[in-house]
Amino acid sequence: MTTSLYDRMSEIIRVVFDRRISTPALLDAASYFPAHTVFCASWKNIRTEAQALAACYHQIPRFHEIMSEQTPISDNDGRDWRLFILKAYGIEIPGNMAMCPALAALVREHREVLSASITFLGPRKHIPRHRGPFRGVLRFSMGLSVPQSADGSPAVRMILDGREYRSGAGDYLLWDDTFFHEVWNDSDEVRIALFLDIWRPNMLPDIWLMSKAILAIARVAILYRGLAGKYRGPPAPRERILRGS
């Protein structure tokens, strides 16, 4: 799918969902993702696994290398935004799940978690203002290893729906990424975070059915592109598994 076609389809989907869903950009995790407490309680274990991956940082794919439609926000400034994907819209990547057993166990335990990634935002990286395509899922983000500014505050900031948010290590947000957002890493260090895509609860029946259909199409696209197959099989040596080669 070309970037222009992806953008047009995303806009159509957003228009339909915006008419039927009226929740704000930032959501109450206790109401929409009660299992967030389990992930928060395990954040140090997840961080340990993420830091082990960081030893092979430059072998982790950049976002636009996984999904070319993301080139405008991933390859916009020559700086890194890398994703280590364990699960994508319900499709597990076995080798990567095996590299992060503590996180994988939590993901498998909670079926509302549709996607799970450990993200690495490179020094001075700027992710331009953009919107996600699909309100049927919510984004849970949690800081794992977060550089600090001179005043001790997190050096990575996100503007979401016109408001600034900074999440330190162990801090989390549950948010709707179809609202415009923009991110800056104002430090010379890599920010590591956990990203989960959560099935939105309590949708109206027609939106629930449409969401299921969109997820099914997304899974077909993932399989067609060979993402899951590229990582399938027993874990390779650590220096190779991150690309699944």
Read off the pLDDT of residues 155-178 as tens digits, 9 standing for 90 and up.
999 999 999 999 999 999 999 999
Lowest mean pLDDT, pick from 2-6, 112-116, 179-183: 2-6
- Are 196 and 115 in contact by the 8 Å Cβ rule? The answer is yes
Q: For position 3, what pLDDT does the model report? A: 57
pLDDT in tens, 70-106: 999 999 999 999 999 999 999 999 999 999 999 999 9
Which residues in the chain belong to E strands, given as ranges? Answer: 81-88, 91-92, 113-121, 126-130, 137-145, 156-160, 163-165, 172-175, 181-185, 191-199
Confidence of residue 5 (pLDDT cuts 50, 70, 90): low
pLDDT the model gives residue 9: 74
Q: Is residue 209 very low, low, confident or very high in pLDDT (cuts 50, 70, 90)?
A: very high
| 128 against 218, higher pLDDT | 128
Q: Which two tokens stand for residue 100?
A: 């992060």
Q: Write down the pLDDT at residue 213.
A: 94
- Residue 121: which of 139, 143, 138 has the closest Cα? 143
Burial of 143 (0-12, 13-18, 19+ CB in 10 A): buried
- Residue 114, pLDDT > 80, answer yes
pLDDT at 21 over 50: yes
Asked if pLDDT for residue 119 goes beyond 80, the answer is yes
Length of the chain: 245
Give CATH for domain 3-230.
2.60.120.330
Mean predicted lDDT score pLDDT of the chain: 89
Strand partners, 83: 119
Among 11-15, 143-147, 199-203, 208-212, the least confident range? 11-15
Rounded CA separation 199/196 (Å):
10
Secondary structure percentages of the chain, helix, strand, coil, to 5: 40, 25, 35
